[in-house]
Chains A and B, each alone.
Chain A
Amino acid sequence: MPKPSESVFPSEDTHAGALPDLEQASRAELQLTLEQLARANRRLALLYRVATVLMSPTQSSFSDLFEAIAEEIGARYFFYQRVDSIRPDLLILAAASQQRSEEEAIISNEFLTAAAIAAPANQSLVLGSSELTQNEAFARLQRVGLQSFMRMPLLAQDRLLGVVSFASVSSPLFLQADQEFVRTFADQLAAAVERERLVQQLKESEQIYRGAVITGRLASWETNMVTRERIWTKEGMEMFGLDLPNGRGVIGGDNDEFRRTLHPEDRYKVAEFHQTADRIDSYPAEYRIVRSDGRLLWMSGRGRVIERDPDGKARRVANIVVDVTERKKSEERTKLLIDELNHRVKNTLATVQAIVAQSLRDERDSRGAREVIEARLQSLSSSHNLLTRANWEGAALHDVVGEAMRPFIRLNHDGQISVEGQQVRLRPKVALSLGMALHELATNASKYGALSVASGQVAVWWTPATVVGAPYLDFHWREQGGPVVKQRSRRGFGSRLIEQGLAHELGGSAHLEYLPSGINCRISFPLLSIEEETQ
């Protein structure tokens, strides 16, 4: 390492000692020194121009630059080739010469051919007139009048990016100083090419990132605890419905845009996140936001500490969240469905409990009890099947009646049961209740009534009605031709179910008449609406 006294500025005494030498120097030597100084100055200015042009090169400024360099070193022809480009047609970006005549055009052509053959290579190549003769590829150059040739590689960490070549028609050899000058120029050019490549790479990676951000509905921002501000990305602001100048937000206070956007019930989490960041490098975050347009979104993501102060407190945190609203909605739907299913199952179990309790009470022996329990559960089950087929949205009254009567239709007695009525769609609850009531009526008819003998008839029909302006349905069951009916002394499950339970549940009325000719039942209940339930 040089001592300060040996630096560019000589010390007082060496300086004083040098003066007499200058005085003794011949005019010619002085002239030479001045010329060298002027040249160095010129070249320095030229390299500065190179730096300026390379900041934002245009085709013409780039060509002009090469011409100036060529002129400076006494070269007439120049060649520039890049080897890193993806597009082959861009390989030769600048290959021009100061062509002034047809003859020079031929020379130029020869030079380009030779230069192209010589390139690319990691080493520099400097050929004087004597060496050109010995080199087969370059011998032609000499024949057209070129005296010397110089090629310098453009290198970025030993990787070849391209070459620059110059040829002179006047000087027999490029001087050491010219070589060094061109070497400096080549290094500058290489740095610019490499920078351009890196910028391009960054742009591509940024494009990929942006694409992922937009496709994945990702939002990101940085939290700076020192400056107390947030730096939002465009996508982050879009997702949060924010419009901040320069994407800058404020941590804390009334203007804290993040805290304000959070769902009121989730705002307490902000302090939690900040505390967590002081302890953990990467932590999960999930919350709801309410955008200024009123939309509620579920966000899920992570915070990652990217800088801490010496005490370990988080200075900067990178945040990334993804919109998981759809997933959350689906989870909520699933939870709702499971809740609803649980509700139905428990109610069904309680219904089974009721059926069993009632059947055991009404029937005298266990065998009879088992039979009625089985039949009632069977009936409940077939009503469930009917509703399941329509996603538990409802059932057609014709189907409800059909299912209830099916076990009681006797072979070769097709005409025993008649069913008439317009299409009516029943809500699931109404379908289940009516199904159970019909099962009780049909069971009774097959044991004691019209369906217990071949001559008996059961007529089922219904008509729409209006009660105080509201749509109702009048439903009738009439038995005829069976054994003479006696008023039953004990009210069984069936009659209780119809007269009390069904009427109660449907919000209507139900009447059972034990006429001598057969049982008559009339059920009247409101429909939600004619439009909804009758078709």
Chain B
Amino acid sequence: MSTVLAGKRILVVEDEFMIAMLLEDLLAELECVVAGVAARPAEALELIDATKLDAAVLDVNLDGADSFGIAAALGQRQIPFIFATGYGGSRLTPEFANYPVIQKPYRLDDLSEALRRLDFA
């Protein structure tokens, strides 16, 4: 389906397992490799340290906690990412206001489009 995204290793950060599973399936359709699924910030940070990643999809609200710390860690390693949220863009802090956001429920095309625009290393 997409040569740009084929084989890209994507980290999924999502606290709701049904939605995480959905993202896994959508990413598989885009020929991406799900490099890991994290439900909590600590798990995500561990995965960032231990795994080779090309990009990440971050749910903004992780069971009450936010994912901005994870975003900062990815930024430091120059790993591109997109936010996933049900809030619209309003919940992003000014620091991340210009990052790509996809809305829940997801459209495969939106996910594909957002990922393709990322600056892969």
Contact = CB atoms under 8 A, between A and B. Distances in A.
Interface in A351-372: 351-355, 357-358, 361
Interface stretch (A2-10, A387-395, A483-491, A499-507): A499-507
A347 B19 contact: yes
Contacts of A429: 15-16, 63
B17 A497 contact: yes
Contacts of B39: 504-505, 507
Top 7 closest pairs, chain A to chain B, by CB: A346-B86, A501-B17, A354-B22, A505-B17, A350-B104, A353-B105, A346-B104
B73 interface: no
B17 A350 contact: no
Nearest to B19: A350
A350 B21 contact: no
B44 interface: no
Interface residues of B, number: 22
B106 to A, nearest CB: 7
Contacts of B61: 343
B37 interface: yes
Contacts of B37: 504
Contacts of B20: 501, 504-505
Interface in A496-527: 496-497, 500-502, 504-505, 507
Given A351-B16, A433-B17, A501-B21, A343 B40 contact: no
Given A343-B61, A429-B63, A505-B15, A350 B105 contact: yes
- Kindly name the residue among A342, A350, A504 whose own CB sees the greatest number of chain B CB atoms within 10 A: A350
Interface string A7-26: 00000000000000000000
A351 B86 contact: no
Interface of B: 15-22, 25, 37, 39-40, 61, 63, 85-87, 91, 103-106
A339 interface: yes
B63 A358 contact: no
B17 A346 contact: no
Given A349-B104, A505-B16, A507-B39, A342 B87 contact: yes
A297 interface: no
B17 A349 contact: no
A345 B61 CA distance: 13
A436 interface: yes
Given A347-B86, A349-B105, A350-B86, A357 B22 contact: yes
Nearest to B60: A343
Contacts, number: 74
B18 A436 contact: yes
Nearest to B91: A339
A353 B25 CA distance: 12
A331 to B, nearest CB: 16
A505 B104 CA distance: 18
Given A352-B105, A504-B39, 16 more contacts: A339-B87, A343-B87, A345-B86, A347-B86, A350-B18, A350-B22, A350-B86, A350-B104, A350-B105, A354-B21, A354-B22, A357-B22, A496-B21, A501-B17, A505-B17, A507-B40
Contacts of A355: 18
A354 B19 contact: yes
Contacts of B106: 350, 353
A351 B18 contact: yes
Contacts of B105: 346, 349-350, 352-353
A420 to B, nearest CB: 27
23 contacts: A345-B86, A346-B85, A346-B86, A346-B87, A346-B103, A347-B86, A347-B104, A350-B16, A350-B18, A350-B105, A351-B16, A353-B106, A354-B21, A354-B22, A358-B25, A429-B15, A497-B21, A500-B21, A501-B18, A501-B21, A502-B17, A504-B20, A504-B39
- Kindly name the residue among B20, B22, B91 whose own CB sees the greatest number of chain A CB atoms within 10 A: B22
Contacts of A496: 21
Contacts of A357: 22, 25
A345 B86 CA distance: 8
Nearest to A361: B25
Given A343-B86, A346-B105, A429-B63, A354 B40 contact: no
B16 A353 contact: no
A320 B35 CA distance: 61
B44 to A, nearest CB: 12
Interface string A111-152: 000000000000000000000000000000000000000000
A342 B91 CA distance: 12
B50 to A, nearest CB: 16
